[in-house]
Amino acid sequence: MTEVNTEDKSLGRPARVSAYQQLSGLLTALKSEEISINDAMNKIQLKDTKPSRPYCKVTQNGALALHGVTKQPIVLYADQWNKLMKVTRSDYLDNYIKYNESRLKYRTNRKQNSKESLDSESEFA
C-alpha cells in the first residue's frame, strides 16, 4: 500500500492525516490490488471518537470549553468557572440534590437500558 509520510519532522511526532487522505490512499491501494476489499473495509470502520474522559480547550474568545460531559461543550469564562468550582466545593449542591432527590431525574446509559429491557422481556416470554 502506498504510505503517506506521517512523520512531522519539525515536531518529531506523527503528523495528522485527514480522512480524505486516508480514503484516497485506500482507494489507490484497492486500484493497484495491494489490499483486498475486506482489508479496506476493516480500515474504514469508524471508531468511537468520544474521548474516554472530559477535556478542556480555550476558545477564540478566551473562554474555557469543557468537552465530553454533554453533546455540546460547556463554555464559561474563567471567573464563571471559579464561581462554579466554589459552589461545588461547598456542601450546597450535595444538600440541594439530597433535598430534591424525588423531583430530580438521572440520565442512564442507553446501552444498559436496552439490555435491561431485553432481559425483562425474556423473563416474561
Letter string b/e over residues 99-117, b meaning 16 or more CB atoms within 10 A of that residue's CB: eeeeeeeeeeeeeeeeeee
pLDDT tens-digit map of 76-113: 999 999 999 999 888 999 999 999 999 999 888 655 55
Q: How far, CA to CA in Å, does 32 sit from each of 18, 24, 39, 42, 98?
A: 21, 12, 14, 18, 65
Output the pLDDT for position 3.
45
Look at residues 18, 25, 23 and name the one whose alpha carbon lies nearest to residue 4. Answer: 25
Cell of 48: 468511537
Q: Give the whole-number percent of the chain exceeding pLDDT 70.
A: 66
Output the pLDDT for position 99.
95
Higher pLDDT, 4 or 101: 101
8: helix, strand or coil: strand
Q: CA-CA distance, 57 to 51, in Å (whole number)?
A: 13
